[in-house]
Amino acid sequence: MISEQLREQVYSCIKCGLCMNTCPVYRQLYFEGASPRGKVQLIKKILEGELEISAYFSSLLHTCLLCETCTVNCPSGVDLNRLMKAARAEVVRKLGLPLEKRALYSLLSRNRLLPFFMFWGRTLETPLRSLILKEGRAGTIPATRLPRLNSRPLLDQYPQIVSPAGPRVGRVLYFVGCATNYLFENVGRAVITTLNSMGIEVIIPRAQVCCGFPAGQAGMRKIALRNIRQNLELFDPGDADAVVVDCATCGTALKKEYANILEEMGENAEAARRLGQKVQDISEYLSKLDPAKYLKPVRGRVTYHDPCHLLRSQGIKEPPRNLLKSIPDMEFVEMAGADVCCGGGGAFQFDHPDVAAGITKNKVQAIMETGAHFVATGCPGCRLQIHGSLGDESIKVVHPVELLALAIS
Amino acid sequence: MLEEKVFEELISIVGAERCKRSKEDLLTYCYDACIHEYLPDAVVFPKSAQEVAHIMKTASAHNIFVTPRGAGSGLGGEALAKYGGIVICFSMMNRILEINTANRYAVVEPGVVIADLQKAVERAGLFYPPDPGSSAVATMGGSVAMNAGGMRGVKYGVTKDYLLGLEIVLPSGEMMMTGTVTSKDVTGYDLTRLICGSEGTLALVTRINVRLLPKPKTKRTLLAIYNSIDAAGDTVSKIIEAGIVPATLELMDKRLIKALDDFTHLGFPLDAEAVLLMDVDGDPETVENQVALVADFCRRQGAREVRVSSSEKENEQLWFARRSAFGAVARMRPTCLIEDATVPVSFLTATIKKVIEICERNRVQVAVLAHAGDGNMHPLMLCDQRDEEEMARVNKSMDEIVDYALSVGGTLSGEHGIGVNKARYLPKQLSETSLKMMKAIKRTFDPQCILNPGGFLDYGAL
Ligand SMILES: Cc1cc2nc3c(=O)[nH]c(=O)nc-3n(C[C@H](O)[C@H](O)[C@H](O)COP(=O)(O)OP(=O)(O)OC[C@H]3O[C@@H](n4cnc5c(N)ncnc54)[C@H](O)[C@@H]3O)c2cc1C
Ligand code: SF4
Ligand code: SF4
């Protein structure tokens, strides 16, 4: 059930409409049901018993990127983000999820299963293919522009403790997200080498599992809960300086969502809150270490895309930009609307490819206008979406830390 | 309920996607930014004037009520289907058709969001001044139908001052043009300005020609901080009296300052009793002079400090905060009602005092906001609409504020319109003859009385 405190939120919406045109989805569809204001209204009517949870309600609720743009723009302080996620959980409780989704999310959440699929997938080119391709596309992304799998999961490529060659000046725990573990090993390597070369020891708990965010936001909180518990146990920060994360979404999960979900499910959220305080996005952590003194020049032009889960969920705007600007000879150009969602939204772009494509088109155009060689972004979801939609091979989508690693090597 | 064959006709005009009738959809078209809710039977989204004309032909043939809607940001239930029927929502008919720099005008469809037009013309070095607090949500069609005012009214006037011509569809489904694209036009009655402010009761606006100005070269924002709200109010009347014309002149009291700071964290002075937020714009030299003049003026009237913005970004942040006022105060209580009575600007201070006195006496929480340069009060009354007893006190306060405003030569509504909220006051301000003429005009346009029933002329019928 939606908690009492969240219920009261629906009455804080005064229907001023100021959230509507900030919503990328409303700007594609232009009807209230797709707007944040409309969603609050429907949730209110359901809570008041005037409306039943229906398949159409569910589809409206999921016509949403969970990009939090409405939440940060609501002057009245309605926490739409939490409200809509809690409502999604209600929908799953009432209506269940289609089998294929259920399968996908439990798969994503259970790391032990994935290696099997990876093996199977390798022989079939990529596993994502066999699972989610329709007519040669995964949502908006053509199969040819999907990433290849890592040859081995990143967690299998490193020991649990990776020490710097020189004197140790700090120690962090590293939460390796699924994307880095299975798809973007380069990001993981960049994180580890960059930290090491700055004198930081990296501890990588072996038994870590998916952060649980994808399942949680689809409303499958039971699956999420299992992962939350396991990760909480493994990531007791102790005397480490920080728990670093290279993925905006995992970061948001560890910083905020764990505590929110536990609290809303009536569980003890103390440990989650303690962990939340120690978690730092890799860009946050690195920018405090004065990276400039380790960097050699790299020529090129880079622009930066703000992931929703970094900018709005965690309020991180400058650190990744500062990192990029600190690379000698690298020209930084701001794109128009860097803070606008890329249109990916996790499962959103699979379920609503047309809407997503409309949103992504604007992003791609803004990137093209900068003439950049690199688009840096700290979120694998944005990376998939942007790379998948960029027709231009000369523009590389990277994690900021990959460019840093390039400047260090 | 509409008959099935009416739905079939509507669908044959706009297609099934743009004709919505599920309970979920109807529930998201039963509100605007006021507190009333009325369920329509269907919501259709035309994309052309021809579609609108077809819909109206169907509606008049079957004698079905139709209510036009822009973004639903109205504060008085104007866009709600008070008697059910069809809502025609213009949100999908939203193209900017032309920006003519040579003759400085623009042609837009009614669903264009005001702020989108402003941005587009500013890129072309031009300027569309009407700027309601809701410009980021409200549509051009809605702002024409409401004759929206806003923050720049004190220098630049209101929506009607920028209208050159309209394309409209009558309730019968006939189409016509009013006005032209020229800046002068005295051919016949001025129907453009009759439609403007008619609250969607006479015709549906399907295309709008607006006059544009050259974009002012520069702009500075000033924040004058006061330890007394009276001194702030007096400053306003004296600025106007002295013939100084800032581009905007807004007054906010301490409650509002606190709410805005809670939302924006911009460092508003939390210990002040009131602030004036002002813009001066024009050529750089004139602006520098005016900034000094206005700042000096405010200090002499008792401002304890005058802050001057140093960048475009800072200007924007301050105005973003101001635009958020309505929502931001709603952080304190669930419901917020904006009163809109307007008085001659020399009565501003007296009116502010009176409003506070009335609200205190009725135990109603109030935050004072005003488009002060226009004498346009916007006291924000904070309450909880679920509490009937409290709402009765709020309504009583509204009655008293209206009576006071009328007693000093003011008006019921400066810009938010009458809608269902203020219809009961209409006979207080308009004579019987005046009402009779208005009703005759309504019948001429809409003999079947199918367009926006329950609008301001129908009070008592609801
Ligand atoms: C936060 C906030 C601040 C505001 N600030 C101001 C302000 O400073 N100044 C001000 O004047 N108002 C203000 N308003 C009120 C409101 O935004 C304006 O009245 C606005 O013009 C309404 O536009 P809309 O598109 O939302 O119209 P709606 O609310 O949808 O409709 C308003 C009326 O217009 C009619 N209508 C809409 N489109 C058409 C059309 N194409 N043809 C015929 N009739 C049509 C509707 O039937 C209805 O009667 C504010 C509202 C909010 C929520
Ligand atoms: S901005 Fe906030 S208060 Fe206004 S309509 Fe959106 S959710 Fe409601
Ligand atoms: S989270 Fe993003 S997509 Fe969803 S309603 Fe809010 S602004 Fe729209």
CATH number at residue B404: 3.30.70.2740
Handedness of CA A103, A106, A109, A110 (dihedral sign): negative
Q: Which residues of B touch A (CB under 8 A)?
A: 20, 22-25, 27-29, 31-34, 43, 45, 71-73, 89, 91-92, 94, 111, 113, 115-116, 134, 136-138, 262-263, 323-328, 330-331, 334-336, 384, 386
Which numbered ligand comes closest to the C-alpha of B206?
1
| pLDDT surpassing 80 at residue B74 | yes
Q: How far is CA A134 from the centre of its chain?
A: 23
Ligand 2 centroid to B75 CA: how many Å? Answer: 14
Residues B350 and B319 in one domain: no
Residues B287 and B269 in one domain: yes
In which domain, by residue range, is B24 found? 4-89
CATH (domain of B104) = 3.30.465.10
Domain end call among B309, B326, B343: B326
Chain B residues within 8 A of A77 when measuring between CB atoms: 262-263, 331
Residues B358 and B374 in one domain: yes
Q: Using alpha carbons only, what angle is made at residue A204 by residues A200 and A207, rounded to the nearest 5 degrees? A: 170
Percentage with pLDDT > 90 across chain B:
87
Phi, psi of B168 (to 5 degrees): -130, 155
Dump pLDDT digits (tens) for B308-353: 998 889 999 999 999 999 889 988 899 999 999 999 999 999 999 9
| Residue A78 near ligand 2, beta carbon < 6 Å | yes
Q: Average the pLDDT over B226-249 and give the result.
A: 92
Domains contained in chain B, number? 5
Question: Greater confidence, B101 or B421?
Answer: B101
Question: Would the CB atoms of B334 and A38 count as touching at under 8 Å?
Answer: no
Chain B residues within 8 A of A74 when measuring between CB atoms: 327
Dump pLDDT digits (tens) for B162-188: 999 999 999 999 999 999 888 788 888
**DSSP codes, A205-271:** -TT----SHHHHHTT-HHHHHHHHHHHHHHT--TT-SEEEES-HHHHHIIIIIHHHHHHHTT---HH
- Whole-angstrom Cα Rg for chain A: 21
Domain end call among B310, B326, B342: B326
Residues B30 and B79 in one domain: yes
Q: What type of residue is B307?
A: R
Chain B residues within 8 A of A69 when measuring between CB atoms: none
Which domains, ranges and CATH numbers included, belong to chain A?
A: 4-95 (1.10.1060.10), 154-286 (3.40.50), 294-408 (3.40.50)
Q: How many CB atoms lie within 10 A of CB B238?
A: 16
Residues B233 and B315 in one domain: yes
Alpha helices in B275-431 (DSSP H): 284-300, 312-323, 325-329, 348-361, 388-407, 426-429
Residues B172 and B158 in one domain: yes
Phi, psi of B342 (to 5 degrees): -130, 135
Question: Would the CB atoms of B386 and A14 count as touching at under 8 Å?
Answer: no
Residue A121: per-residue pLDDT: 44
Q: How far is CA B320 from the centre of its chain?
A: 17
Q: How many residues does chain A have?
A: 409
Q: Please tell me if residue A325 touches chain B, with a CB cutoff of 8 Å.
A: no
Q: Please tell me if residue A267 touches chain B, with a CB cutoff of 8 Å.
A: no
Helix axes B254-264 and B312-323, enclosed angle (nearest 10): 120
To which residue do tokens 């019987």 refer?
B432
Task: Name the 3-class secondary structure at A134.
Answer: strand
In contact, A323 and A352? CB cutoff 8 Å:
no
Chain A residues within 8 A of B47 when measuring between CB atoms: none
| pLDDT surpassing 80 at residue B410 | yes
Question: Would the CB atoms of B28 and A33 count as touching at under 8 Å?
Answer: yes
Residues B103 and B169 in one domain: yes
- Cα gap A11→A23, rounded to integer Å: 20
Task: Name the 3-class secondary structure at B167.
Answer: strand
Beta strands at B175-179 and B105-108: parallel, antiparallel or unpaired:
unpaired
| pLDDT surpassing 50 at residue B263 | yes
Q: Which of B108, B176, B149 is nearest to B338 (CA)?
A: B149
Ligand 2 centroid to A20 CA: how many Å? Answer: 8
Question: Would the CB atoms of A11 and B386 count as touching at under 8 Å?
Answer: yes
| pLDDT band (50, 70, 90) for residue B141 | very high
| Residue A40 near ligand 3, beta carbon < 6 Å | no
Residue B104: per-residue pLDDT: 96
Per-residue pLDDT of chain A (409 residues; tens, 9 = 90+): 678 888 989 999 999 999 999 999 999 999 999 999 999 999 999 999 999 999 999 999 999 999 999 999 999 999 999 999 999 999 988 888 776 677 666 766 665 545 544 444 444 444 445 555 666 677 777 777 777 778 888 999 999 999 999 899 999 999 999 899 988 999 999 999 999 999 999 999 998 999 988 888 888 888 889 999 999 999 988 889 999 999 999 999 999 999 999 998 889 999 999 999 999 999 999 999 988 889 999 999 999 999 999 999 999 999 999 999 999 999 999 999 999 999 998 888 888 999 999 999 999 999 999 999 999 999 999 999 999 999 877 899 999 999 999 999 7
Task: Please give the C-alpha separations between residue A390 and each of A302, A380, B67, B124, in angstroms, as whole numbers.
Answer: 15, 15, 43, 29
Q: Please tell me if residue A60 touches chain B, with a CB cutoff of 8 Å.
A: yes
Ligand 1 atom closest to Cα of residue B417: 19
Q: Please tell me if residue A41 touches chain B, with a CB cutoff of 8 Å.
A: yes
Which residue's alpha carbon is nearest to atom 1 within ligand 3?
A66
In contact, B428 and B402? CB cutoff 8 Å:
yes
Domain end call among B70, B89, B108: B89
Residues B245 and B135 in one domain: no
Ligand 2 centroid to B304 CA: how many Å? Answer: 35
Residues B350 and B378 in one domain: yes
| pLDDT band (50, 70, 90) for residue B190 | very high
Residues B307 and B225 in one domain: yes
Structure tokens at B305: 């400090």
Residue A196: per-residue pLDDT: 95
| Residue A23 near ligand 3, beta carbon < 6 Å | yes
- List residues bridging with B213 in a β-sheet: B127
**DSSP codes, A328-377:** TTEEE-PPTTTTS--S-TTTHHHH-HHHHHHHHHHHHHHHHHHT-SEEE-
| pLDDT surpassing 70 at residue B216 | yes
Which numbered ligand comes closest to the C-alpha of A88?
3
Q: How far is A205 from chain B (nearest CA, A)?
A: 39
Question: Would the CB atoms of B33 and A17 count as touching at under 8 Å?
Answer: yes
Task: Please give the C-alpha separations between residue A107 and each of A139, A177, A223, in angstroms, as whole numbers.
Answer: 19, 14, 10
Residue A222: per-residue pLDDT: 85
Task: Name the 3-class secondary structure at B183.
Answer: coil
| pLDDT surpassing 90 at residue B229 | yes
Which residue's alpha carbon is nearest to atom 6 within ligand 2?
A19
Q: How far is B82 from chain A (nearest CA, A)?
A: 18
Residues B385 and B441 in one domain: no
Ligand 2 centroid to B460 CA: how many Å? Answer: 31
Q: For chain B, report the end-to-end CA distance as a whole number of angstroms.
A: 18
Residues B15 and B74 in one domain: yes
